[in-house]
Structure 1
Amino acid sequence: GHTAQDTIDGLRKLRSEGFSVGIQLMPGLPHETKESFQQTVMKTIELRPEFVRLYPTIVIEGTKLAEMYRSGRYTPLSLENAVDICAEAVSRFEEEGIHVIRIGLMSSPTLLQEGQVLAGPWHPSFGELVRARVYQNKIAQGLPKGLEGRRIQVRVNPKDLSLLRGHKNRGLRYLEGITGASVVSVDTDVSVEPNEIRVSLV
């Protein structure tokens, strides 16, 4: 194994030799909290890597973590919590000009074998879920107040339609959850700027 300081020293050594360096983070590790992972994100930003990968921790058969999970000593993140945590991290990194080049483990024949993934936020489109949540969080800041119980029509830039809807319309359900409104139609409008949304009552 290695310590956090070993990672920092290695990163600085590689950079001194002219290498571009990246950092891989695994939210949901044993004993980690949302707050401690946020601290890890801030420390990573201080180190200024050229890129970051985010791989939420999943429980794979035949590992020490699988033993901890079966004995009740480890509880993995739910899919929803992992999406929220990673979306916040992506926003922070990209605000600082740090590229996030991978979100979630790439699907493989091994991972897709029945019984291989025991628990945790594994999803073949995890990166898509996170990118959609980043977008949804951005537009949520500009939503009008007082929409509870109302029926609304939503218009977005054509480039943002898939981000708004999200995987299997999860994005629309998320929008309804934070506004209390019912989305009755979604339309595209080139006059709407990217990362913006227009809402009208129906």
Structure 2
Amino acid sequence: MLGVQTMLGLPGDTLEKSINTAKRLIELKPDMARIYPTLVIRDTALEQEYIGGKYIPLSLDEAVRWCSILVPMYENAGIKVIRVGLHAEELIRENEIVAGPVHPAFGALVYSKIWLDRITETIEKTSMHNKRKLIIHVAPSDVSLVTGQNRRNVDFLKENYRFSVVKVIGDQNSRNSFEMEFGISYLFTVILLVKGFQRTIILFRCIFRLTNKLLPLPARWRIRHVRVCGIFRDGA
């Protein structure tokens, strides 16, 4: 089995260079990949450059953003990413990190950012960002990543798209897929079904429920359940 390992943010590195490196490594068709942001370790030449102001490591947000772009590149190519950032036990054991984007749950931050990017991209494509309520249905194991650390993703969606309510519900069977439900009014709901990194499949299901509690309509209009469906594919 062939594995590759990359370090991001070395002296002279840029996001564009890291993307090009990933593309060349993908051409090798490795079985697995590890991605590590560069950290400044004690008693190294890089530490001296850092102390002398010649080297500035990536910030935590920068490192998360870079990795959130690179990880899907590998996974879309069928390459398993088995490690993103140092493991928490490695950080505790070494305890020699001087500077750099270190976090005990760095990998979780990256995958949480990937989820946020996928969700916001879908919202933008469907022009549903002016609705009041958003419910995201995912697998139970994905709830914490979609919600974000300290509800960061939820807060971002509220602040940037003006949703008054954002809920993440773990009621789906498949990981890495999600269903988005937009609350427009009491009479109209739109549900989007999105699966996989390579293709985005969006299922529109418009549900109208007319009952006595909502509108005083004629009896023949009451308790209706009408669905209008269409499937759109993107990124084939």
Fold similarity call, TM over 0.5: yes
Shift of 1:185: 3.8
- Quote the RMSD (CA, aligned, Å): 2.3
Q: Which residue of 1 aligns with 2:103?
A: 123
Whether the 8 Å contact between 1:192 and 1:198 is mirrored in structure 2 is no
Give 5+ residue unaligned stretches, structure 1: 1-19
Report the CA distance shift for 1:99/1:146 in structure 2 as closer, same or farther (over 3 A): closer
Equivalent position SS for 1:41? helix
Q: Give the structure, 1 or 2, with the largest relative contact order (CA under 8 Å, sep 6 or more).
A: 1
Which of the pair has more CA radius of gyration? 2
Please report the TM-score for the alignment, with normalisation by the length of structure 2.
0.67
The list of structure 1 runs, each at least 4 consecutive aligned residues, that deviate by more than 4 angstroms after superposition, is: none
In structure 2, give the amino acid aligned to 1:119. Answer: A
- Identity among equivalent positions (%) equals 33
Provide the C-alpha distance between the structure 2 equivalents of 1:168 and 1:189, rounded to a whole number of angstroms. Answer: 18
Distance 1:28 1:68 in 2: 14
Separation in 2, partners of 1:192, 1:153: 20
TM-score by length of 1: 0.78
Matches within 5 A, 1:65-80: 65-80=46-61
What pairs up with 1:43-192 in 2 under 5 angstroms?
A: 43-107=24-88, 108=90, 109-111=92-94, 113=95, 116-143=96-123, 144-145=126-127, 147=129, 151-159=132-140, 160-176=142-158, 179-188=160-169, 190=171
Change (3 A) 1:70 1:168: same
**Which structure 2 residue ranges, 5 or more long, are not aligned?**
186-236
Structure with higher helix content: 1
Q: After TM superposition, give the deviation of residue 110 of structure 1 in Å.
A: 3.4
How far apart are the structure 1 equivalents of 2:79 and 2:173? 27
CA–CA distance in structure 1, aligned partners of residues 155 and 4 of structure 2: 33
Q: Is the 8 A contact 2:157 2:166 kept in 1?
A: no
Aligned residue pairs total: 178
Shift of 1:127: 0.6
Q: 1:170 Cα shift? A: 2.1
Q: Which has the higher strand share?
A: 2
Matched residue SS, 1:124 = coil
